[in-house]
């Protein structure tokens, strides 16, 4: 470390920029983080449903300053011959150039593609594609989940997954009707057409919710000098020795465990990550339930 | 319990490692595990192709993963990211500041566990290129099947498709005669799972994979000694 720094000739902000590792170490040794959190605490989280009026469902999620916006758009498409009784769920994560200094416009970055792949696999197991079938072998729903990272301040997987989950939880598939000539109508027109057709062959479907098999919530933890930091920020992420993202559902089952870093981790760290993710899941699911109730979209409200 | 190909649950398919197949690369290796085969080439330390990739303090590691057919997509990018981080962990990158070490992986045939096979091929190719390494890394895939109630190591494509959950785990394995590894420690370097597992099932899977990785690393070490007898 430079003599100037030791002599206290630089202010805290300069020190933070010049010696990011020393800066973080001094905090972590005191059991704190630069933003004032304890080591095991995640940042304050908010879920805003229906942020984009032109989509079928949307959610804006903030975890600290990490911001993810998920929009869901549904389209009626011809059923694929290889899967006549199933629809499609297409997940795409995009990192806009404004989300961080290192993100460039143009081709999707590696980070965005890795997130796309992780979330597609995860959400594919949460949404049973067979419920997206409208008329077997003819038409089905294609549900496009687009997730935009607006501010990439670390732990993107957690924010993106929560945004996608919140949007899908609030999604209502519009009513669909198919008339004799095979013309497909959706929304209010479909509901009206179904009224007229009553007594005839029932074609199409009522407005309905999308059933999710579980509510996966993830937590990213980082290993820094033998200590576990929950929900690391973009400032902390490059300094971590290893990072692990555990995704668990409400029953405590593990839906994904992605770890990587420049140092190997022991079994204790794996167990601690899973435990922390389980606790965080409970917290986040309560938050999501509250947001859905406020928007009048909770599953219980629907049943009554 | 016996598997369709006659293996026991914890048995890895026959492993073969051929080195120095490519004459124009600084190092190359072809890693075969049963029906899965990956060819890896290593170029470097060499000049960085883009100044934006240069790191003034250490070598940049670049990984390219080519599927058996077609264009590389999001899945391949995910593999590249995982393999790159694992390679960065074993390469002593500080020895070659501003340089580039490029690892190119080509899938030759895929019968399950292609990510693990590619990572092992990359490590063998780095050895062949004589890039200074801290230790070796070895990866093993595993599958958890509900109906057979078992944990299968190194599953074939058919076993993967039938499994409730699959995972690939890379370790810094326990090496004969030193290395960084601390014996009984788990030393998990990277992991990736798909499907639903209980916490205990995941931990069992990681533990079983670790034992497999130790065996693979012993093989990798032995094959390196045979290829370069003077290095002993």
Same domain? For A201 and A288 the reply is no
- Look at residue A156 in the predicted model and tell me its pLDDT: 95
CB environment B195-207: b (16+ within 10 A), e (fewer):
bbbebebbbebbe
Q: Are A228 and A137 in the same domain?
A: yes
Task: Give yes or no for residue A301 having a pLDDT over 50.
Answer: no
Q: What is the pLDDT of residue A138?
A: 85
Question: What region, left, alpha or beta, does residue B124 occupy, with left being phi > 0 and alpha being psi -120 to 50 degrees?
Answer: alpha
Name residues whose C-beta falls within 8 Å of residue A112's C-beta, 6 or more positions apart in sequence. Answer: A93, A94, A95, A149
Domains in chain B: boundaries: 15-227
CA of A98: how far to CAs of A105, B122, B158, in Å?
Answer: 9, 35, 43
Name the residue among A117, A125, A259 with its Cβ closest to that of B191: A259
Which of A193, A209, A225 is a domain's end point? Answer: A209
In this prediction the pTM is: 0.91
Same domain? For A140 and A197 the reply is no
Distance from CA of B6 to the nearest CA of A (A): 30
Closest CB to A266: pick one of B78, B89, B185. Answer: B185
d(CA A247, nearest CA chain B) in Å: 10
A61 and A193 share one domain: no
Q: What is the CATH number of the domain that holds A136?
A: 3.30.230.70
Q: Model confidence over A54-86: pLDDT tens digits?
A: 999 999 999 999 999 999 999 999 988 888 889
Burial class (CB in 10 A: 0-12, 13-18, 19+), A133: buried
Q: What is the mean pLDDT of chain B?
A: 89
> A37 lies in a domain?
no
In chain B, the residue whose alpha carbon lies closest to the alpha carbon of A216 is B196
Judged against a pLDDT cut of 60, whether residue B118 lies above it is answered with: yes
pLDDT at A12: 87
| Domain identity same for A55 and A162 | yes
Instruction: Provide, as residue numbers in chain B, all residues whose Cβ is less than 8 Å from the Cβ of A121.
Output: 194
Chain A residue with CA closest to B165: the answer is: A255
Is position A230 within any domain? Answer: yes
What is B15-227's CATH topology?
Ribosomal Protein S5; domain 2 (3.30.230)
> Is A23 inside any structural domain?
no
B214–chain A Cβ distance below 8 A for any pair: no
pLDDT value for B126: 95
Nearest CB partner across the interface for B188, out of A117, A264, A274: A264
Number of structural domains (chain A) is 2
Q: Which domain holds residue A194?
A: 172-209
Give me the pLDDT at residue A67, please: 96
A98-102, A107-111, A148-152, B53-57: which is most confident: A148-152
Cβ contact (<8 Å) for B191 and A260? yes
**Which of these three, A194, A209, A224, is where a domain ends?**
A209
Please report the pLDDT score of residue A303 as a whole number: 44
Q: Are residues A130 and A9 in contact, defined by beta-carbon separation less than 8 angstroms?
A: no
Mean pLDDT (chain A, rounded): 88
The answer to whether residues A233 and A91 belong to one domain is yes
For chain A, say whether B171 makes contact (Cβ under 8 Å): yes
Task: Kindly determine whether residue B74 and residue A257, on different chains, have CB atoms separated by under 8 Å.
Answer: no
- pLDDT tens, residue by residue, A159-206: 999 999 999 999 988 888 887 777 777 777 766 766 666 545 555 677
Give a yes or no: residue A220 inside a domain: yes
Predicted pLDDT at B177:
62
pLDDT at residue A8, rounded to an integer: 60
pLDDT value at A276 more than 50: yes
| Length reported for chain A | 304
**Domain's final residue, options A209, A234, A256:** A209
Contacts of A259 in chain B (CB under 8 A): 188-191
Query: What is the band of B28 on the pLDDT scale with cuts at 50, 70, 90?
Result: very high
Choosing among B60, B63, B64, B74, which should be mutated to test the A contact, i.e. which has the most A CBs within 10 A?
B74
Count of alpha carbons within 13 Å of A107, Cβ hemisphere only? 5
For the segment A198-251, what is each residue's pLDDT rounded down to a tens digit? 545 555 677 888 889 999 999 999 999 989 999 999 999 999 999 999 999 999
Query: What is the tens place of the pLDDT at every residue in B176-204?
Result: 665 454 556 778 999 999 999 999 999 99
State whether A92 and A226 are in the same domain. Answer: yes
Same domain, A120 and A167: yes
ipTM of the complex: 0.89
């Amino acid at each position: 470390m430079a003599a100037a720094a030791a002599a206290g000739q630089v202010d805290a902000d300069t020190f933070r920029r010049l010696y990011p590792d020393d800066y973080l170490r001094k905090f972590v040794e005191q059991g704190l983080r630069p933003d004032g959190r304890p080591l095991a605490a995640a940042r304050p989280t908010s879920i805003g449903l229906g942020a984009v009026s032109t989509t079928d469902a949307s959610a804006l999620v903030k975890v600290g300053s990490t911001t993810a916006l998920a929009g869901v758009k549904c389209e009626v498409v011809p059923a694929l011959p290889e899967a006549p009784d199933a629809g499609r769920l297409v997940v795409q994560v995009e990192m806009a150039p404004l989300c961080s200094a290192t993100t460039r416009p143009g081709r999707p970055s590696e980070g965005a593609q890795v997130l796309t792949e992780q979330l597609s696999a995860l959400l594919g197991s949460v949404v049973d594609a067979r419920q997206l079938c409208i008329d077997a072998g003819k038409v089905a729903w294609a549900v496009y989940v687009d997730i935009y990272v607006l501010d990439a301040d670390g732990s993107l997987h957690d924010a993106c997954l929560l945004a996608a989950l919140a949007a899908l939880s609030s999604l209502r598939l519009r009513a669909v009707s198919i008339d004799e000539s095979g013309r497909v109508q959706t929304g209010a027109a479909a509901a009206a057409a179904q009224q007229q057709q009553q007594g005839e062959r029932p074609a199409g479907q009522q407005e309905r919710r999308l059933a999710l098999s579980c509510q996966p919530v993830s937590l990213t933890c980082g290993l820094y000098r033998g200590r576990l930091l929950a929900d690391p920020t973009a400032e902390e992420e490059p300094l971590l020795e290893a990072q692990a993202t555990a995704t668990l559902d409400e029953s405590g089952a593990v839906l994904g465990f992605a770890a990587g870093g420049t140092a190997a981790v022991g079994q204790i760290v794996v167990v601690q990550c899973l435990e922390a993710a389980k606790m965080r899941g409970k917290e986040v699911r309560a938050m999501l339930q509250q947001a859905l109730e406020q928007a009048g979209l909770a599953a219980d409200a629907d049943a009554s | 319990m016996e598997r369709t190909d006659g293996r026991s649950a914890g048995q890895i398919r026959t492993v073969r490692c051929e080195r120095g197949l490519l004459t124009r690369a600084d190092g190359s290796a072809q890693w075969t595990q049963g029906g899965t085969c990956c060819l890896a080439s290593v170029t470097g330390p060499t000049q960085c192709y883009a100044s934006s990739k240069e790191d003034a303090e250490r070598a940049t590691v670049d990984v390219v993963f080519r599927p058996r057919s077609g264009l590389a997509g999001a899945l391949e990018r995910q593999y590249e990211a995982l393999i790159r981080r694992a390679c960065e962990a074993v390469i002593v990158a500080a020895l070659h500041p501003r340089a580039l070490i490029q690892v190119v992986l080509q899938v030759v045939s895929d019968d399950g566990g292609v990510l693990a096979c590619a990572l092992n091929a990359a490590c063998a190719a780095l050895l062949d290129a004589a890039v200074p390494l801290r230790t070796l890394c070895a990866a093993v895939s595993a599958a958890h099947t509900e109906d057979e109630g078992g944990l299968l190591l190194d599953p074939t494509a058919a076993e993967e498709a039938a499994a409730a959950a699959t995972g690939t785990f890379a370790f810094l394995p326990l090496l004969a005669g030193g290395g960084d590894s601390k014996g009984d420690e788990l030393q998990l370097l990277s992991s990736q799972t798909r499907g639903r597992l209980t916490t205990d099932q995941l931990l069992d899977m990681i533990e079983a994979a670790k034992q497999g990785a130790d065996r693979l690393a012993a093989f990798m070490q032995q094959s390196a000694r045979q290829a370069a007898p003077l290095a002993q």
